[in-house]
Structure 1
Amino acid sequence: MKDQMPPGGHTVDASVNARAWNHIAAQDEADPAVSTPGEVPRTIEWTCWPGRGPGAEWIGDLSRTRVAELGCGTGEHTAYAAENGARLAVGVDVADQRIAQARARFGHLPAIDFKVGDAAEILDEPRLDVCFSIYGALWYAEPTRLIPVIHNRLRPGGILAFSVNAPRDGELPGRRVDNLTLTGGARLPVIHYSYGADAWRRLLAECGFADTQVLPIEGPDGSPYRTLVIRTRRGAD
Structure 2
Amino acid sequence: MSRDAEWDPAQYGRYGDERSRPFAELVGRLHGLEPRSVVDLGCGSGELTATLAERWPEAVIEGRDSSPDMIAAAKAHEIPGRLSFAVGDVAAWRPHDPVDLLISNAVLHWVPEHFELLPQWAGALAPGGRLAFQVPGNFDEPSHTLLRALCRSPRWKGRVGHMMPPSPVLTPAGYLDLLARHGYAVDAWETTYAQILHGDDPVLEWVKGSTLRPILTELDAAETEEFLDAYRRRLNEAYPAATYGTVFPFRRVFVVARRNAP
Q: Which of residues 87, 90, 104 is equivalent to 2:59?
A: 87
Aligned residue for 1:235, secondary structure, equals coil
Greater RCO (CA < 8 Å, at least 6 residues apart): 2
48 and 232 in structure 1: CA distance in 2 versus 1, 3 angstrom threshold: same
Instruction: List gaps (5 residues or longer) in structure 1.
Output: 1-13, 34-40, 172-176, 180-186
Contact kept? 2:26, 2:132, Cα under 8 Å: no
124 and 190 in structure 1: CA distance in 2 versus 1, 3 angstrom threshold: farther
Residue 187 of structure 2 is matched in structure 1 by 213
Larger Rg: 2
Residue 225 of structure 1 is matched in structure 2 by 250
Q: Partners of 2:121 and 2:260 in 1: how far apart?
A: 12
Deviation at 1:71, TM superposition (A): 0.7
Q: Which of residues 199, 215, 218 is equivalent to 2:174?
A: 199
Contact kept? 1:168, 1:224, Cα under 8 Å: no
Task: Identify the structure with the greater strand proportion.
Answer: 1
Task: Identify the structure with the greater helix proportion.
Answer: 2
Instruction: List gaps (5 residues or longer) in structure 2.
Output: 143-147, 151-159, 196-246
Deviation at 1:89, TM superposition (A): 0.3
Contact kept? 1:127, 1:154, Cα under 8 Å: yes
Contact kept? 2:101, 2:130, Cα under 8 Å: yes
AA paired with 1:144? F
Q: What is the number of equivalent residue pairs in this alignment?
A: 192
Deviations 1:79-101 (A, max 9, x none): 12223314310111111221111
Residue 234 of structure 1 is matched in structure 2 by 259
* TM-score (normalizing by structure 1): 0.65
Q: Partners of 2:34 and 2:187 in 1: how far apart?
A: 23
* TM-score (normalizing by structure 2): 0.60
